[in-house]
Amino acid sequence: MGFVSVILGFCGFGVGISTGMVLGYYLFIHFQPCDVKDPVIRPLVEQDSQSLLRLLPEIPLWVKNPDYDRIDWLNKFLEVMWPYLDKAICKTAKNIATPIIAEQIPKYKIESVEFESLTLGSLPPTFQGMKVYLTEEKELIMEPSLKWAGNPNVTIALRAFGLKATVQVVDLQVFAQPRITLKPLVPSFPCFAKILVSLMEKPHVDFGLKLAGADLMSIPGLYQFVQELIKDQVANMYLWPKTLEVEILDPTKAMKKPVGILHVKVLRALKLRKKDLLGASDPYVKLKLTETKAPSKKTTVKHKNLNPEWNEEFSMVVKDPQTQALELHVYDWEQIGKHEKMGMNVVPLKELPPDEPKTLTLDLLKTMDPNDVQNDKMRGQIVVELTYKPFKEEDLPKEIENSSAVQKAPEGTPPGGGVLVVTVHEAQDVEGKHHTNPYVRIIFRGEERKTKQIKKNRDPRWAEEFTFMLEEPPLKDKLHVEVLSTSTRIGLLHPKETLGYVDISLADVVSNKRINEKFHLIDSKNGRIQIELQWQTS
Amino acid sequence: MGLISGMVMGMLFGIALMAGWKYMMQHRGTKRVAKAVDIKLLSSLNREDMKKICGENLPEWISFPVFEQVKWLNKQLAKLWPFIADAAEAVIKESVEPLLEEYRPPGITSLKFSKLSLGTVAPKIEGIRVQSLKEGQITMDIDLRWGGDPSIILAVEAALVASIPIQLKDLKVFTVVRAIFQLADEIPCISAVVVALLAEPKPRIDYTLKAVGGSLTAIPGISDMIDDTVNTIVTDMLQWPHRIVVPIGGIPVDTSELELKPVGKLTVTVIRANELKNMELIGKSDPYVVVHIRPLFKVKTKVIENNLNPVWNQTFDLIAEDKETQSLILEVFDQDIGQDKRLGIAKLPLIELEAEKSKEFDLRLLPSLDMLKIKDKKDRGTLTIQVLYHEFNKEEQLAALEEEKRILEERKKLKEAGPHCRFWGWYGRYSVIGAGVGLVGTGLGAGVGIVGSGLGAVGSGLSKAGKFMGRTITGHSSSSKRSGSSTPVNPQENGGAKPL
């Protein structure tokens, strides 16, 4: 009897617990309000010591650490912008999600899925400090401390088999410490080519997930499990050294690397107009590619000739064949005074077929303006042969990362040997007694190289590269780097001055392959020079 | 018995379980909300809050200036500067050079940059202040200082003289840039940016002009004239309430609200002056008054010869754009052979006026509006004027706008017709300065762009949002281009507009 009674008791317990839970659900949970209210925020000054104690672990980093900077202005900016951002982000999210949902639901026999509410709440993300790191490389590194404890309300209603279920996400909190690296830096706006984001610590994630009004995340144990799961997932993807890359500019374009060579053969000109009072003109041709800083090239002067034959060849480096153009100017040479223009024309490079010589006969014009009446006059013609040779794919430097990593030595390097590449970047606080027109002289095994001189500058930037081909690794050698200044005036008193020097042992370079450091100059007050050394082996 | 007791037990247990869950829900819910509130509170702290939290242990490195310091931004800017300078140089050359060519005054055959380098010293942001003065707008004030070493050489080729290279060096810009962001409901959430230099504190732009292989001082008065021109350009183009409006791509919005519009008409009657200073050796001064609100629209009275207590009784209509910040400027000059001498200047802030009420003012003449430049306390006499301010309604406003456009058009035509006023000789120099200021504008624009990209970079921490912000970066940089190119256009009109 007792045994049957126990069995029955268990059965009763089983039935009772389910009825109890249903009853309990309706009693306690079902009538809980589902909407999210804005929290009441009292100013800090009014708070009691109890709540202040609770605040302490959340004190922003800029208060605790002097190397973090306060960015409350950005918080304020975000705060004002937040309602607009909220609307914009939610609208975009809805627009993206709706077609995907519409496509997916027939598979699962669900009637409809819709957002009952979608808002990110009234609390914006906040930055609790910003730290930046300075390195010698071409990159910017910053680490904001980001905390978003929001009050979003995302409610999704599912309808299937005539039943309705709602899933609601509330009180989402994300604390993260991302590292944002902008690199490489390039000389065109916005001045960096890529944004790299990675997390320095596992992020903190917390939220409430309500299924039919009951918060699943408050079941003891489940929250910890879910949080760990999310943390691990995110960590797998973005925890340093793993990164998220966002490309802003095409790096090869941004760096303006050469992509090809234009061969120009100036053949002849026909029926040039006479410009000189006495005798015929003395024509010569000036060639220039647009958008380059390279000086223009000139042919020889053909004296007293209105149908000159040059047959001279030139080659020019092309950086962007889509926008660049070749400018041809014909000038009249003069012994005295200004050389007179005889006419010009422009050939856009995109009109040239690659790797094919093309002979063009161009009319010489006064200006490139098509409406200019002066262009109706005949100024003669010029005949040129143009060949645009783009570099082969393999000739191009593949990836931009390789530019900072050590490259392979070029072919022809002796085995066991390599190439020493010395890049003189910049110097700071160099000062001469009488003049400061600094240039750098580097001496390696008696070989001497010089950078160009920069006038009147205490913080010069050279960014010049020198290469030395070597038979064997320079394990015992030293590189002598010297900053010198010469007077710009022809003064006999202080013609030349040493602003400082440094000897760099090259053994480290061989073992590290690449060193990029600032060296303190000897015989200088507090001058420093940044030198990059690379040892490239085949 | 067993069944029933089991059921009762089970039910109780079930209910208790639910009650416990509810308790947990509430507990966790309140905890999360409390944390959210804490984080929100800590996002903007002031001195009192800090004292409350830290008590005696307030770290000494913390200060709360009105303009928040941005050391990190300056570090980044310094590092990025060589690249920005390179990029900006190309942009300036590309955008300003055709403009120079287009607005090249007659008599000068070519106007080109022969050298343009922004130097190695990066601008410094002394501080940033963010306010929300108006619904849907964010006002950001950037205290910008640039004591740079740019080297800008302009090659000026005149028809008669050979090429004159003019060098602009030791450029120093100290100013507060105000950027107003107009917010919108679409990504990137900013529909337009308004950029202006704050009038208070007055923008300071210093520079040295040097003719390479010659001397500018050879022509007397040119330095003053250049200063005056630059001042006019800055005050009339860039200084608040004048502004540059840059719509950010993507969102078609009506930016006309942000533009400067005529709001009222000021009827000024210059009645008389008393006890003016005598500036001439023989006889007495020949005074006349120049009246303006915007330097672009100056009007002057007739000259009354040989009189220190002249009576003019002349009436002018002037247009006001911003009653809160603009002032009526009255300058008394002595007509002379050569350059006219200034006898005194007076200022009447428009905010002191009541609409539709005629009022008489006795204004004391001062040697200069800049209090730092005033050295003596000599009495320079008084000027008596009668002022009536009339506020525009919609139609009148439109009409005034049209009128303004028409006047500018006419002036342009007049300018094209050829040189006919005695200031044409200086014209070449004006345009040079215009270009210089254009550069400054671009520099500022670039600065704003950098700040923008800084923002963008930070924003990219928000993973996906980062992409959108990334797009804004380019928007910003193009804005700097635009501000650079739009500036030098109007100085030209300016130079021609001086009815002196």
d(CA A412, nearest CA chain B) in Å: 35
d(CA A166, nearest CA chain B) in Å: 17
Task: Answer yes or no: do A41 and B71 touch at CB < 8 A.
Answer: no
Mutation target to probe the B interface, by most B beta carbons within 10 A, among A189, A207, A246 is A189
- Write down the pLDDT at residue B250: 63
Q: Which residues contact A243 (CB under 8 A, 6 or more apart)?
A: A181, A196, A197, A198
Which residues in chain A have their CB less than 8 angstroms from residue B463's CB?
197, 244
CA B92 to each of CA A55, B95, B98, B109, B446: distance values in angstroms, whole numbers, following the listed order: 51, 5, 10, 21, 11
Of the candidates B12, B70, B140, the beta carbon closest to that of A20 is on: B12
The C-alpha atoms of residue B487 and residue B100 are separated, in whole angstroms, by 11
The C-alpha atoms of residue B126 and residue B77 are separated, in whole angstroms, by 12
Mutation target to probe the A interface, by most A beta carbons within 10 A, among B8, B12, B15 is B15
- Write down the pLDDT at residue B89: 85
**Per the structure block, which two tokens stand in for B190?**
């900013």
- Write down the pLDDT at residue B192: 85
Of the candidates A16, A123, A244, the beta carbon closest to that of B8 is on: A16
For A130, name the nearest residue in chain B, comparing CA atoms only: B72
Segment (H or E) for B257:
none
Please say whether the beta carbons of A474 and A420 come within 8 A: yes
Confidence at A294, pLDDT banded by 50, 70, 90? low
Helices (H), B103-221: none
Position A502 pLDDT exceeds 80: yes
The C-alpha atoms of residue A267 and residue A261 are separated, in whole angstroms, by 19
The tokens 């030293």 sit on which residue?
A478
The C-alpha atoms of residue B486 and residue B497 are separated, in whole angstroms, by 18
Task: Answer yes or no: do B461 and A84 touch at CB < 8 A.
Answer: no
Identify whether B201 is preceded by a cis peptide bond (ω within 30 of 0): yes
The ipTM is 0.72
The C-alpha atoms of residue B392 and residue B294 are separated, in whole angstroms, by 18
Of the candidates A44, A123, A146, the beta carbon closest to that of B36 is on: A123
Which residues in chain A have their CB less than 8 angstroms from residue B8's CB?
12, 16
Q: What's the average model confidence in pLDDT over B134-148?
A: 88
- Write down the pLDDT at residue B229: 67
* pLDDT tens-place string over residues B421-458: 333 333 333 333 433 444 444 444 433 443 334 333 33
Q: What's the average model confidence in pLDDT over B390-397?
A: 82
* pLDDT tens-place string over residues A176-214: 999 999 988 888 788 888 899 999 988 988 888 888 778
Minimum mean pLDDT range among A356-370, A430-444, A476-490, B90-104: B90-104
Q: What average pLDDT is seen over chain A?
A: 83
Task: Answer yes or no: do A12 and B24 touch at CB < 8 A.
Answer: no
Position B166 pLDDT exceeds 80: no
Position B483 pLDDT exceeds 50: no
Higher-pLDDT residue of A413, B94 = B94
d(CA B430, nearest CA chain A) in Å: 27
Confidence at A257, pLDDT banded by 50, 70, 90? low
Distance of CA A288 to the CA centre of its chain: 31
Task: Answer yes or no: do A219 and B21 touch at CB < 8 A.
Answer: yes
* Other beta carbons within 10 Å of A176: 23
Confidence at B56, pLDDT banded by 50, 70, 90? confident
* Other beta carbons within 10 Å of B400: 20
Residue (of B471, B83, B325) closest to A256 by Cα position: B83
* Other beta carbons within 10 Å of B351: 11
Which residues in chain A have their CB less than 8 angstroms from residue B101's CB?
none
* pLDDT tens-place string over residues B234-268: 777 777 777 888 887 665 666 666 777 788 888 88
- Write down the pLDDT at residue A414: 65
Please say whether the beta carbons of B76 and B84 come within 8 A: no
Minimum mean pLDDT range among A28-32, A110-114, A527-531, B453-457: B453-457
- Write down the pLDDT at residue B225: 64
- Write down the pLDDT at residue A115: 86
Whole-model pTM over 0.90: no
CA B267 to each of CA B317, B353, B431: distance values in angstroms, whole numbers, following the listed order: 5, 12, 33
Quote the percentage of chain A above a pLDDT of 90: 14
d(CA B86, nearest CA chain A) in Å: 5
Instruction: Say what angle helices A2-24 and B2-43 make with each other, to 10 degrees.
Output: 30
Task: Answer yes or no: do A77 and B138 touch at CB < 8 A.
Answer: yes
d(CA A356, nearest CA chain B) in Å: 32
d(CA B219, nearest CA chain A) in Å: 27
d(CA A29, nearest CA chain B) in Å: 6
Q: Which residues contact B379 (CB under 8 A, 6 or more apart)?
A: B275
CA A189 to each of CA A174, B113, B145, B383, B478: distance values in angstroms, whole numbers, following the listed order: 32, 21, 21, 53, 9
Position A529 pLDDT exceeds 90: yes
Mutation target to probe the B interface, by most B beta carbons within 10 A, among A84, A293, A368 is A84
Of the candidates B24, B33, B463, the beta carbon closest to that of A244 is on: B463
- Write down the pLDDT at residue A480: 93
Task: Answer yes or no: do A29 and B21 touch at CB < 8 A.
Answer: yes
- Write down the pLDDT at residue B251: 59
Residue (of B136, B128, B129, B137) closest to B180 by Cα position: B137
Mutation target to probe the A interface, by most A beta carbons within 10 A, among B39, B110, B115, B177 is B39
Q: What's the average model confidence in pLDDT over B285-292?
A: 87
- Write down the pLDDT at residue B253: 63
The C-alpha atoms of residue B211 and residue A81 are separated, in whole angstroms, by 49
Minimum mean pLDDT range among A302-316, A388-402, A485-499, B123-137: A388-402
Confidence at B60, pLDDT banded by 50, 70, 90? confident
- In DSSP terms, B117 is beta-bridged to B151
Task: Answer yes or no: do A66 and B61 touch at CB < 8 A.
Answer: yes
Task: Answer yes or no: do B28 and A223 touch at CB < 8 A.
Answer: yes
d(CA A292, nearest CA chain B) in Å: 10
- Write down the pLDDT at residue A143: 93
Which residues in chain A have their CB less than 8 angstroms from residue B3's CB?
8-9, 11-12
Q: What's the average model confidence in pLDDT over A448-477?
A: 87
* pLDDT tens-place string over residues A121-180: 889 999 989 999 988 888 899 999 999 998 888 888 888 777 888 888 888 899 999 999
Please say whether the beta carbons of A426 and A534 come within 8 A: no
Q: What's the average model confidence in pLDDT over A397-421?
A: 61
The C-alpha atoms of residue A191 and residue B477 are separated, in whole angstroms, by 10
The C-alpha atoms of residue B303 and residue A111 are separated, in whole angstroms, by 88
The C-alpha atoms of residue A277 and residue B305 are separated, in whole angstroms, by 58
Helices (H), B44-188: 47-54, 71-102
Higher-pLDDT residue of A117, B460 = A117
- Write down the pLDDT at residue A408: 62
Position A256 pLDDT exceeds 70: no
* pLDDT tens-place string over residues A47-77: 777 878 888 888 888 888 888 988 888 999 9
Which value, in Å, is the radius of gyration of the alpha carbons in chain A?
Answer: 37
Strands B190-197 and B244-247: antiparallel
* Other beta carbons within 10 Å of A49: 7
Strands B327-334 and B287-292: antiparallel
d(CA B211, nearest CA chain A) in Å: 19
Which residues in chain A have their CB less than 8 angstroms from residue B93's CB?
none
3-state SS of A409-463 is CCCCCCCCCEEEEEEEEEEECCCCCCCCCEEEEEEECCEEEECCCCCCCCCCEEE
Which residues in chain A have their CB less than 8 angstroms from residue B80's CB?
140, 185, 191-192
For A73, name the nearest residue in chain B, comparing CA atoms only: B130
The C-alpha atoms of residue B484 and residue B339 are separated, in whole angstroms, by 33
Q: How many CB pairs under 8 A join A and B?
A: 341
Q: What average pLDDT is seen over chain B?
A: 73
Confidence at A441, pLDDT banded by 50, 70, 90? very high
List own/partner pairs for B209-213 with CB under 8 A and 24 or more apart: B209/B166, B209/B167, B209/B168, B210/B166, B210/B167, B210/B168, B210/B169, B211/B164, B211/B165, B211/B166, B211/B167, B212/B153, B212/B165, B212/B166, B212/B167, B213/B165
Residue (of B261, B244, B260, B133) closest to B192 by Cα position: B244
- Burial class of A369 by CB neighbour count within 10 A (0 to 12, 13 to 18, 19+): exposed
Position B466 pLDDT exceeds 80: no
Distance of CA B278 to the CA centre of its chain: 37
For B141, name the nearest residue in chain A, comparing CA atoms only: A73
